[in-house]
Amino acid sequence: MAGWHIGIIGGSGLYDVEGVEDGRWVEVTTPWGAPSDAIFSGRIGEVAVSFLPRHGRGHRISPEAINARANIDALKRLGVTDVLAVSSVGSLVEARPPGSFTIVDQFIDRTKGRTSSFFGTGCVAHVSMADPVCPRLSDYAAAAVGAGVDRRGTYLAMEGPQFSSRAESVLYRQWGCDVIGMTAMPEAKLAREAELPYALVGMVTDYDCWREGEAAVDVAQVMAQVSANAAKARAMVVRLLRALPKARPASPIDTCLDSAIITAKGARDPALVAKLDAVAWRALGLG
């Protein structure tokens, strides 16, 4: 089997981990526009790794303005085989306090106005999102976090950039959601369309605003906990990369477009097919 190349999408300081060899910033051009930033690529041991600051260095891009298509395309162009997302989230359950980590396994998408597919008129595809994360990568991430990690959780993806109203926060709890954030969608959907196994580690920063008698979440509270979580997140990344088996086992997600592209070959729009040269080259026979 081919080796691993892990793409890590997270905070602007996540790439500052110990042990990265041959690290360098790489500028990647995509047909979907500019990614959030250059990508810091290197290796830890025998595992290639590429870090992409989701909001750009200095956290300059608002959640709803992130060009998720360009981010996923850029990672695919670099040869990334699997994507680990590391995201700050709010907690919707008492048992997941600030400072805890959740391995997300389901999503409810409440975003609006974000482009959520590489495909469209001229080349239509319908990937399955029934099981939206990669179980094997999620298991590696859970083991790397260690004791106390919540191994399952439903993530409510909200539009932002504003935080929830109290009524919304209570409603999401009634829906059975465990954590809430602004960035996982359409990122997870696009990773699936690019045939990239995806896992998400949610780092809890706050209790959102559902707890009665408590002040609402604010940026100062979130950033204080983000700083506290950062060292733990970097250590988790290193442990995960060092624990991966030498040979990367194949994943069904590697070939998920085989059962997703519905437009007949002769009816496909050449201009759109050209833009899919990285994310769908295998399924479209462009290699």
Residue 191 lies in a domain: yes
DSSP 118-143: S-BTTB-B----SS-S-HHHHHHHHH
C-alpha–C-alpha distance, residues 154 and 234, integer Å: 23
Reply yes or no on whether 218 is catalytic.
no
Q: What is the pLDDT of residue 229?
A: 81
Query: Residue 170: exposed, middle, or buried by beta-carbon count in 10 A (0-12, 13-18, 19+)?
Result: middle
pLDDT in tens, the chain (287 residues): 479 999 999 976 677 888 899 999 999 999 999 999 999 999 999 999 999 999 999 999 999 999 999 999 999 999 999 999 999 999 999 999 999 999 999 999 999 989 999 999 999 999 999 999 999 999 999 999 998 899 999 999 999 999 999 999 999 999 999 999 999 999 999 999 999 999 999 999 999 999 987 777 777 777 787 777 888 899 999 999 999 999 999 999 999 999 999 999 999 999 999 999 999 999 999 97
Q: Scanning the structure block, which residue is given the tokens 């399952």?
A: 152
**Bridge-partner residues for 179, per DSSP?**
91, 155
Q: What is the pLDDT of residue 67?
A: 98
Q: Read off the pTM.
A: 0.95
The parent domain of residue 111 ranges over 84-275
Q: 102: helix, coil or strand? A: strand
Q: What is the pLDDT of residue 1?
A: 46
Structural domains in the chain (count): 1
Residue 73 lies in a domain: no
Q: What is the pLDDT of residue 12?
A: 65
Tokens of 27: 């500028």
Catalytic residue among 73, 150, 178, 208: 208
C-alpha–C-alpha distance, residues 144 and 140, integer Å: 6
Residue 113: give its domain's CATH number. 3.40.50.1580
Catalytic residue among 82, 150, 178, 206: 206
Residue 140 lies in a domain: yes
Cβ atoms of 33 and 108 within 8 Å: the answer is: no
* 131 to 49, 106, 136, 154, 184: CA distances (angstroms): 25, 7, 12, 12, 15
Reply yes or no on whether 206 is catalytic.
yes
Cβ atoms of 109 and 157 within 8 Å: the answer is: yes
